[in-house]
Structure 1
Amino acid sequence: MGSLHDRAEGYDNGMSAARILGVQWRKSSRSNPNGECVEVASLLDGRTAVRDSRFPAGPALVFTRAQITALLKELKEGQLGDLRRPFQ
């Protein structure tokens, strides 16, 4: 039996990032120097795991390549600008 990284079906949103073994977590070179940023890891099945750098063993979110591409496109185009406003 291999690690969770060897079994694509073993990844679930919200699972502990500590259970995602054999990956290289990385963050942007433009990230906050205070450590308040997210880290990403590429999974063997092509998906991307995301975790909070302040809580490396905390929950991870797992996204498909299409989901990550759509998110980055919307961020670059400023389509998520309303997320900066407080909830009403």
Structure 2
Amino acid sequence: MWPPTWRPSTGCALKPLRCTRPRRSSVRFARSSDVDPIYNGMPAKDLGTEGWQKPWSGPNGGSCVEAMKLSDGRVALRQSTDPDGPALIYAYHEIETFIQGAKAGAADFLLT
């Protein structure tokens, strides 16, 4: 953009842009502590084999949902017949709300 053009709103002329490398201080470097290694849909096997529990077992031959309470309070769920499949990760308040609703009958429509 040369020659510089006038900007009436500021009374300043625009200068041509120079391409420069960003300063190291202006670049955000991701640290491993910045990235949450536990995410919704991750392979359940990546959470390990210890700590998975079957809250109940129905008459369907052992096929049920397994749950694991994570160290930060979240809850992971997986299908017992596919332990290497995806894990669904829920915040504590999400699980709490679901369980309270199920106890109150809000999930009964799933059974009809």
The answer to whether the superposition gives a TM-score over 0.5 is yes
Q: Percent identity, aligned pairs only?
A: 36
1:32 aligns with 2:32: no
1:84 aligns with 2:79: no
Asked which structure has the greater CA Rg, the reply is: 2
Please report the TM-score for the alignment, with normalisation by the length of structure 1: 0.78
Matched AA of 1:57: D
Q: Give the structure with the higher percent helix.
A: 1
Query: Which stretch has the larger CA shift, 43-52 or 16-25?
Result: 16-25
How many aligned positions are there? 78
Change (3 A) 1:41 1:52: same
Please give the root-mean-square deviation of Cα atoms over the aligned residues, in Å: 2.0
Please report the TM-score for the alignment, with normalisation by the length of structure 2: 0.62
- Structure with the greater relative contact order (CA < 8 A, sep ≥ 6): 1 or 2? 1
Equivalent position SS for 1:75: helix
Unaligned runs of 5+ in 2: 1-33
Matched AA of 1:71: F
1:10 aligns with 2:54: no
